Structure 1
């Protein structure tokens, strides 16, 4: 299975979304909400503008938007988040490679954003959020297909970032027990957060279906979903996290299941395990698939 890889250059974001003549800032993925870089001109009103490009003769041309994406990003109580970090990543090729991830400005008071895209194709919309004031957030990552003339609107319902109520301190190999019967084994020395640091704590939650952005996989309906914080924690060296499910998920004995993770940067889905509800319908007997559970973003379950 091929994992995400960047094939971007410093000028690609300008070609994708347009950029001002003197771009500045820095692309971050730490959930701090810093979203100004060469990708485009950001405003404090939540608009990532197409911007102007400068020709060799000094004249300026405003590139035309081929498609737009608007939306609102909120917490589970319907309030704007403290410092969401939003990126539009793409276009994504057939092998899952992303040309560039472009930071997107979000309005502080309403959570609204607006993006004008200069290229069509498959993209991923990614929202991350670091821990703030003892609040621990998961994130969202899902794919969208942009065609010329599209005006996608993710305002109603809004994009909601799940919040974890409690985390487990990690000290050596640690078993983290979550709602829904999910247990994970994680050694912080064999894992890293998106900030390239060893995680010090881990949490997760069963996410209410009203907040799902992916509700089916290969035509099968999602029946359970967990999200994790820190969002995007990975096993090092292409390793994987052991996990178990000590719950039938409300299903009959013998029901066959598939478990998928969402890759944070390109929004792709990877099969990480298969399972069968055991004979007394008390747990799911799991077998690893593919590379196993490699990245802690969302864990989705479908019937086979």
Structure 2
């Protein structure tokens, strides 16, 4: 299988690389890993070298997915069976002031990839977000429910979903949430803050499903070996608030820190956040044999990997 991964330098991209090159897979593959620029190329190469992941099956190159002709040429040159799009403008608050820039990446980039993939008859894995929902519900969102984003990031990701669904038949559109892995993320931020603070004030009225990039990568690798095309939700099982999530991070890492719950109004941000954006894994459990970890178990695995 020839696998073309965009955004390979990001959290999910690195998780995919580790799962593919660091573990024995039952299928043969070749990877094209694309990054945004030369700086990212050097960074990813060094990371792969440090983690003993440099492999003749993987090649790294730079690619701007917002340029259709560059995308078309890169994909035609590699001739992939599957393209996994991990590129996204994910700075939620920045999107409020730079929505057109975010849309260029999250919608135009997705459409460019979909069009190039369609021409080859390959399939596309496109990653989306819980933020396409408004968060006004009280039960987990299923794949078929109507989207209604309440911030610029969610709007641009919704448009990306639409572009993929309208362009292709062979696609896996996977919504995920509260992702953490290699690089900057909520878990590492809380651990860093705990080094110099005995008290942390964390929002308690936003509920979601913290998801390990490693678990999501495993789900993606499972799906691309099937033809179960369509929209999927891919989050770790269970739900929690940022407050309870932080408490569990502190408990598992052995940090003696008091975590105080606060309301969203007490932590002002440029972008509105959904209060309840839990994604349902019911389809995953009913229609696949893939078993995704509960968020608590995935968090423990992640913290163990950090060797704190």
Q: If each structure's strand is expressed as a fraction of its own residues, which one has the higher value?
A: 1
Q: If each structure's helix is expressed as a fraction of its own residues, which one has the higher value?
A: 2
Instruction: Answer 1 or 2: higher relative contact order, Cα 8 Å, separation at least 6.
Output: 2
TM-score (norm 2): 0.32
TM-score (norm 1): 0.32
